[in-house]
């Protein structure tokens, strides 16, 4: 029979898996409590770092419909549950792991798709969602300006062409 505290822990983690955009599994052996607190702060407001037992975490993930992480729950494991921008959390993990080699990114899941450790590091190399959206908006604004210039140029070019034709006709009419 399952103990109530373990059932509660599984339910809580299952809800975290369901409500998260992404989850990143890490190994944390050798990190101090102070380093873990620093890691939690570096992840930002939109991510929560949770150390839990592998068996309970695997059960919670499976109940949430995520079976691709099963192989990652070996040894010391902790999960970063990301509810906001996954790029920001991936950058926080990557940067912390550079300074603290005891933190090892094992893999994760993003919107239901499994990610390897390398894919998470590539995700960390992306610019944030806000930066990408602002670049897209700037590019679209530039294209609109180009289109407006083209549309303005068409009537003025037409007027210049008509004037040139009229002048040519006047020259030909005066030459006869």
User: Is the model's pLDDT at 146 over the cut of 50?
Assistant: yes
User: Is the model's pLDDT at 105 over the cut of 60?
Assistant: yes
User: Is the model's pLDDT at 149 over the cut of 80?
Assistant: no
Contact 39, 31 (CB under 8 A): yes
Dihedral sign from CA coordinates of 115, 116, 122, 128: positive
The more confidently predicted of residues 76 and 142 is 76
Q: Which of 36, 60, 39, 56 is nearest to 109 (CA)?
A: 60
With bands split at pLDDT 50, 70 and 90, how would you rate the model's confidence at 147?
low
Does the domain at 1-125 match CATH 3.40.50.1820? Answer given as: no
User: Is the model's pLDDT at 175 over the cut of 60?
Assistant: no
Mean pLDDT of the chain: 83
Q: Per residue in 50-100, pLDDT tens? A: 888 888 989 988 888 888 888 888 888 889 999 888 888 888 888 888 888
Largest CA distance in the chain: 112
pLDDT score, position 117 = 84
CA distance 168 to 88: 66
Collect all residues with Cβ–Cβ distance below 8 Å to 53 and sequence separation of at least 6: 9
pLDDT score, position 1 = 47
Tell me the pTM: 0.68
């Amino acid at each position: 029979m399952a103990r109530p505290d373990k059932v509660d822990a599984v339910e809580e983690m299952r809800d975290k898996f369901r409500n998260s955009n992404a989850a990143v599994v890490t190994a944390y052996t050798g990190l101090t409590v102070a380093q873990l607190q620093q890691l939690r702060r570096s992840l930002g407001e939109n991510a929560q770092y949770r150390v839990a037992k592998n068996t309970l975490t695997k059960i919670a993930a499976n109940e949430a419909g995520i079976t691709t992480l099963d192989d990652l729950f070996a040894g010391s494991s902790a999960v970063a549950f990301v509810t906001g921008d996954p790029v920001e959390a991936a950058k926080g993990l990557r940067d912390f792991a550079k300074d603290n080699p005891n933190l090892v990114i094992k893999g994760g899941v993003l919107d239901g798709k499994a990610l390897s450790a390398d894919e998470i590091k590539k995700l960390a190399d992306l610019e944030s969602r806000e930066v990408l959206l602002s670049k897209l908006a700037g590019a679209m604004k530039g294209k609109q300006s180009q289109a407006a210039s083209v549309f303005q140029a068409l009537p003025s070019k037409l007027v210049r062409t008509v004037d040139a034709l009229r002048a040519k006709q006047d020259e030909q009419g005066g030459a006869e």
